[in-house]
Amino acid sequence: MSGFVFSEKPISIESGEGATLTAENGTEYLDFGASYACTPTGHCHPDVVDAIQEQAAELLYVQGSYPVQSRTDLHEKLGTLAPGGIENVWLCNSGTEANEAALKFARSATDGTKIVAAKRAFHGRTAGTLSATWKPKYKKPFEPLLEDQIEFVTYGDTAELEDAVDDETAAVILEPIQGEGGIHPAPAGYLEAARECTEATDTALIFDEIQTGIGRTGNLWACEGYGVTPDILTTAKGIASGLPMGATLCRDWVAEAAGPHGSTFSGNPLVSAAANATLDAVVDEDLPGNAADVGGYLQDELTALDVPIRDVRGEGLMIGVEVKRGANRVLRDLALEHQVLALPAGRSVVRLLPPLVLEEEHADQVVTALADVLAPKAESQS
């Protein structure tokens, strides 16, 4: 069943350190996305490893009704680090759970039932979050879902969004930068317009920061770069350096009216310890600042390449390179010929989501690799 969720790659990974993964045969690969943005502090950051080992020696699990110091610390830390006005924290095990909770909280805290989501969006694989996900290939095998309660609008079209949000709307859910949909940052003014129309209709504004959060875009949260604060913010992936955790952060008015919700492993001690160490490293080492600096350098170098590239877009170390041939072929050649691992975002976008400890020399390596892989090849002579 190993290929049930993911197609298995022909590279067996044995260990990792910083921005590098090492295969069982000793080959080293530069990780530019193979870990789905889950390793902001790099692979096996020593402080994170120490925190996990110390907690494992004391307590692996106790159900959430009993206070545990690592969980208590994490609640306080996330409340402090969240954008202003968001202080309530619900912990879970993944991004899709965080978004599922966000949709439930929004519906129980408002008088609405409709959810407005964006075309190209990806919010998860539960019945609720999958309903708010755009691409048919993810949804079709499981239909019917909750389509009657979802209205999709064109991402970036302010007029269409404003027209869709009405008194029946419980929530608008948006990614500040669409990830799976092809690395599309929100156009200027779009998130501000979302904030205005949701406030006017007492609708909850949800920002899905599962992929954009924890410093990836050059700010701790991508929404901070736009100057817009939502009512609910969801995060996961990098929050615990790859251990399974998600979080739903809410304003008071949402938290106070949210209906009953729970999760057996919510904020378990071991993963909470990893998350505390991860957030400390992200802040103390200014990894958002490094993401902004190295990400800006990388985008400039990619944009300057004289090879067939349609577009380079993104923020910080969340970058999409739209190529003129299939992204999967490019990714195959990067891995086999240059030992660089990356991800697709649709058929034609190479998605770069490296650890935030990345250095310029790593960026240069990837630029050189892409230049070679994308360079027009001379026709073979007969």
d(CA 19, CA 29) in angstroms, rounded, equals: 9
Please report the pLDDT score of residue 330 as a whole number. Answer: 96
List pLDDT tens digits, range 305-317. Answer: 999 999 999 999 9
d(CA 249, CA 255) in angstroms, rounded, equals: 9
Mean pLDDT of 313-322: 98
List pLDDT tens digits, range 168-205. Answer: 999 999 999 999 999 999 999 999 999 999 999 999 99
List pLDDT tens digits, range 113-160. Answer: 999 999 999 999 999 999 999 999 999 999 999 888 999 999 999 999
Please report the pLDDT score of residue 261 as a whole number. Answer: 87
Q: For the chain, what is the domain count?
A: 1
Kindly state the percentage of the chain with pLDDT values over 90: 90
- Amino acid found at 247: A
In this predicted structure, the answer to whether residue 8 has a pLDDT above a threshold of 90 is no
122 is in an annotated binding site: yes
Q: What is the residue range of 210's domain?
A: 56-285
Handedness of CA 231, 236, 238, 241 (dihedral sign): positive
- For 250, the token pair is 């809410």
Q: In this structure, are residues 22 and 44 in contact, taking their beta carbons and an 8 Å threshold?
A: no
Contacts of 316 (CB under 8 A, 6+ apart): 215, 216, 217, 218, 219, 288, 291, 292, 295, 296
Residue 17 lies in a domain: no
d(CA 250, CA 263) in angstroms, rounded, equals: 17
Please report the pLDDT score of residue 4 as a whole number. Answer: 54
At 99, the pLDDT band (50, 70, 90 cuts) reads: very high
210 is in an annotated binding site: yes
Which residue carries 């309660």 as its tokens?
149
d(CA 179, CA 208) in angstroms, rounded, equals: 10
CATH number, domain of 60, equals 3.40.640.10
Q: In this structure, are residues 137 and 172 in contact, taking their beta carbons and an 8 Å threshold?
A: no
Residue 378 lies in a domain: no
Q: In this structure, are residues 363 and 328 in contact, taking their beta carbons and an 8 Å threshold?
A: no
Mean pLDDT of 275-292: 98
d(CA 118, CA 22) in angstroms, rounded, equals: 38
Of 146, 156, 145, the residue nearest 118 (C-alpha): 156
Q: In this structure, are residues 34 and 343 in contact, taking their beta carbons and an 8 Å threshold?
A: yes
- How far does Cα 219 stand from its chain's mean position? 13
Q: In this structure, are residues 65 and 76 in contact, taking their beta carbons and an 8 Å threshold?
A: no
206 is in an annotated binding site: no
Determine which helix (DSSP H) or strand (DSSP E) holds 76, and give its type and residue range.
helix 69-81
Residue 145 lies in a domain: yes
264 is in an annotated binding site: yes
pTM score, whole prediction? 0.95
Please report the pLDDT score of residue 289 as a whole number. Answer: 98
In this predicted structure, the answer to whether residue 382 has a pLDDT above a threshold of 60 is no
Kindly state the percentage of the chain with pLDDT values over 70: 97
Residue 214 lies in a domain: yes
d(CA 115, CA 168) in angstroms, rounded, equals: 9
d(CA 187, CA 190) in angstroms, rounded, equals: 6
At 10, the pLDDT band (50, 70, 90 cuts) reads: confident
209 is in an annotated binding site: yes
125 is in an annotated binding site: yes
Residue 298 lies in a domain: no
In this predicted structure, the answer to whether residue 207 has a pLDDT above a threshold of 50 is yes
In this predicted structure, the answer to whether residue 56 has a pLDDT above a threshold of 80 is yes
Please report the pLDDT score of residue 6 as a whole number. Answer: 61
- For 36, the token pair is 């789905």
Contacts of 3 (CB under 8 A, 6+ apart): none
Residue 348 lies in a domain: no
Mean pLDDT of 344-353: 96
105 is in an annotated binding site: no
CB neighbourhood size of 208 (10 A) = 32
Mean pLDDT of 223-251: 97
381 is in an annotated binding site: no
**Beta strand ranges found along 181-297 (DSSP E):** 184-185, 204-208, 232-235, 246-250
**Beta strand ranges found along 263-339 (DSSP E):** 309-315, 318-323
Phi-psi region of 37 (alpha: psi -120 to 50; beta: other; left: phi over 0): left
In this predicted structure, the answer to whether residue 69 has a pLDDT above a threshold of 50 is yes
252 is in an annotated binding site: no
Residue 275 lies in a domain: yes
Q: In this structure, are residues 243 and 230 in contact, taking their beta carbons and an 8 Å threshold?
A: no
Residue 247 lies in a domain: yes
300 is in an annotated binding site: no
H helices present in 206-249, as ranges: 222-226
Average pLDDT of every residue of the chain: 94
Which residue carries 């494992």 as its tokens?
56
